Amino acid sequence: MTAPTPLEALGRVLAEVSAASQQQTQVLQVLMGRAAGTTGAGATAAMQRMAEAEDPQTFLDVFEATATSCKWPEDEWGIILLPLLAGEAHRAALSLPAAARLQFSNQRRACLDRVGRNPEDHRRRFRALRLGLKDRPFILAQQLRDAATRWLQPGEPDRRMFELILLEQFIDSIPARTAAWVRYHRPRDLEAAVTLAEDHLAVQREATTKPAERPTPSPRRRLAPPEEAALEPRPREQVPGWAIPAPPPHVHTVSGIITL
Query: Is residue 37 in a domain?
Result: yes
What is the value of pTM for the model shown?
Answer: 0.52
Q: Judge if 40 and 89 occupy the same domain.
A: yes
Q: Judge if 92 and 140 occupy the same domain.
A: no
Q: Judge if 83 and 165 occupy the same domain.
A: no
How high is the pLDDT of residue 116? 74
Counted domains in the chain: 2
Neighbours of 5 (CB within 10 A): 9
How high is the pLDDT of residue 154? 82
Q: Judge if 148 and 79 occupy the same domain.
A: no
How high is the pLDDT of residue 43? 39
Q: Judge if 32 and 83 occupy the same domain.
A: yes
| CA angle (124 as vertex; 119, 128 as ends), nearest 5 | 150
Query: Is residue 79 in a domain?
Result: yes
Q: Judge if 96 and 160 occupy the same domain.
A: no
How many helices and strands (H and E) does the chain possess? 11, 2
Residues spanned by the domain of 197: 119-208
Q: Judge if 59 and 95 occupy the same domain.
A: yes
What separation in angstroms does the CA of 216 have from each of 210, 219, 221? 18, 9, 15
DSSP three-state, residue 172: helix
Distance CA 195, CA 181 (A): 12
Neighbours of 256 (CB within 10 A): 5
44 pairs with which residues across the strands? 38
Query: Is residue 245 in a domain?
Result: no
Distance CA 49, CA 89 (A): 12
DSSP three-state, residue 259: strand
Burial class (CB in 10 A: 0-12, 13-18, 19+), 59: buried
Distance CA 84, CA 34 (A): 12
Q: Judge if 32 and 94 occupy the same domain.
A: yes
Distance of CA 251 to the CA centre of its chain: 99
pLDDT values of the chain reduced to their tens digit, one per residue, 260 residues: 566 666 566 566 556 655 545 544 454 455 555 545 444 433 345 678 888 878 888 899 899 999 999 999 999 999 999 999 998 899 999 999 988 888 999 999 888 888 877 788 889 989 999 998 888 999 999 999 988 988 888 887 888 999 999 999 999 999 999 999 999 999 999 999 999 999 999 998 887 766 656 666 665 656 556 555 555 566 555 555 555 566 565 555 555 555 44
Query: Is residue 147 in a domain?
Result: yes
Neighbours of 112 (CB within 10 A): 16
> Final residue of a domain: which of 165, 183, 208?
208
Query: Is residue 254 in a domain?
Result: no
How high is the pLDDT of residue 41? 38
Query: Is residue 166 in a domain?
Result: yes
Query: Is residue 4 in a domain?
Result: no
Distance CA 99, CA 97 (A): 5
Query: Is residue 6 in a domain?
Result: no
Task: Provide the CATH number for the domain around residue 162.
Answer: 1.10.1200
> Final residue of a domain: which of 115, 141, 171?
115
Q: Own/partner pairs for 75-78, CB < 8 Å, 24+ apart?
A: 76/31, 76/34, 77/104, 78/102, 78/103, 78/104, 78/106, 78/107
Neighbours of 174 (CB within 10 A): 24
Q: Judge if 108 and 91 occupy the same domain.
A: yes
